[in-house]
Amino acid sequence: MTTTTTTTMTNTTNMKATAPEHPARLEMGKLAPEVYKAMVALDRASRKDVDPVLAELVKIRASQLNHCAFCIDMHSKDALAAGESAERIIQLSAWEESQHFYTEKELAALALTEAVTVLTDGFVPDEVFARAAKQFDETELAQLISVITVINAWNRIAVTTRMVPGHYTPSTPKG
């Protein structure tokens, strides 16, 4: 087993050695390529007609709740690349106390994300669903639920296989 020690630049004169990077347990894309390709296709389909920044906020929040460091890293970088501010990304972990950073539509999406992600009560509360239904038409709501469901599946894959955060680079926007 190989571990890597990384060095983090905290400023131009101070270098800090960080803890060793843990190795991934296995590579799903190589070992179950059909499943991995299907997940990629499902992810793409789930985002159809969903505002890209909203989708990234939802993915970051679900990933925070699921303790998925790889997906937090990936989707924070994707959100920044899509034009999201660092401030709003940072505030996601405490969005209920910093609601003034988000629109009503985003707040409804974040509440729904939490309810779908954390099903400890065994259901999504009616008031959470109704709040989202006021902000999204039925098609948009179906797509949003799809985005939430898919990121939860990705989180479970990434956490279980110990995908390593910190190496993801967002692709450049096309257009």
Q: What is the model's pLDDT at position 16?
A: 86
Q: Which residue stretches of 13-103 are H helix?
A: 28-31, 33-46, 52-65, 69-81, 86-91
pLDDT, tens digit (0-9, with 9 covering 90-100), for 38-61: 999 999 999 999 999 999 999 999
3-state secondary structure at position 13: coil
Confidence of residue 10 (pLDDT cuts 50, 70, 90): very low
Residue with tokens 């890209």: 52
Confidence of residue 173 (pLDDT cuts 50, 70, 90): low
Q: What is the model's pLDDT at position 4?
A: 45
CB 55 within 8 A of CB 147: yes
Q: Distance (Å, rounded) from C-alpha 88 to C-alpha 170?
A: 19
Identify residue 95 by its one-letter amino acid code.
Answer: W
Q: How many CB atoms lie within 10 A of CB 2?
A: 6
pLDDT, tens digit (0-9, with 9 covering 90-100), for 106-165: 999 999 999 999 998 789 999 999 999 999 999 999 999 999 999 999 999 999 999 999
This prediction has a pTM of 0.88
pLDDT, tens digit (0-9, with 9 covering 90-100), for 62-110: 999 999 999 999 999 999 999 999 999 999 999 999 999 999 999 999 9
pLDDT, tens digit (0-9, with 9 covering 90-100), for 20-42: 999 999 999 999 999 999 999 99
Q: Output phi, psi for 147, to 5 deg.
A: -60, -45
Q: Distance (Å, rounded) from C-alpha 68 to C-alpha 99?
A: 23
Give the largest Cα separation in the chain, rounded: 54
